[in-house]
Structure 1
């Protein structure tokens, strides 16, 4: 087994604290884990380093209680400072090979890839898993380039590390992924914007498991 178990990628929550106070944010994140989120990535584009560290530390206290890995988006310094389990890197972030040299062998490194070539490079550079997308247009404040389901399938077949689908996914639209050998799905709005994040997470797990039957 590598640094991450395929099962841990089943329901991958990417957080978004936009428009909510800290207490609400932490409550929603914990509710999602109770509902079935198997891994959490904290993603903050607007916070200062100190703010990011403080919030990530509080999220890590929650994830550690449930034995769920915490991944920090983009910021290796923040991940190392709070002892997070991993870091996730996009195509404009630090190259995976450089990150691997900095964090050593123990930390999980995930990479966002949109093409088979990018996927192979990430794998060869030391990535442990891939996030592939966006499958659908998203409402989050990140630049998205849509990825076809065929490309997603090709990426899954091209590399031995697990790949997750990301981008605008919810319980009602993930059926297009049926038969594609993904390890799991990454969601933001489907949980963070839900009235009941625990229920939303449970429904997403059920919908993902349906895909594999």
Structure 2
């Protein structure tokens, strides 16, 4: 069965940004993130994490560390009655490691296409939530609707993202916005202002390159 998904960046979107995080002891949820994942589950979207993890290529940690971190995150979510359906990560970097020209590292959309193949995702009805211009670019390239959050690098990156892309204060606000889109409470995806947007500055339009 084909289903829509909400693709989620990890660091700066789900958890507080900490450079090259791989230990569960360093994990801190963005406020409202667990509730956001529960809402994704309730709405019937697949919750799919797509995350660049260049710390592997740089030698800071290995892929098993990523897998173990995600297992621990799953345990925390299960205790709250929530779940992530799948995790995709890119361990590559353009200047480090044995693979420097991959198609999975955002802003490339390889992870989203892999998820479509594996999970039978309807990309046209899907969303991408992230805090960077590369998240938006990956979503656009895959044909999903992007939402930029103002956590993590969101405020600093907002000027790099086209003004037509919806902004939300944080992931829970973004998911509440998507819920209203899903329920058809507005005419178009870009016309609705979610509750979190009242705290978001207005930005000059610039197109993502």
The normalised TM-score by structure 1 is 0.41
Higher helix residue share: 1
The normalised TM-score by structure 2 is 0.42
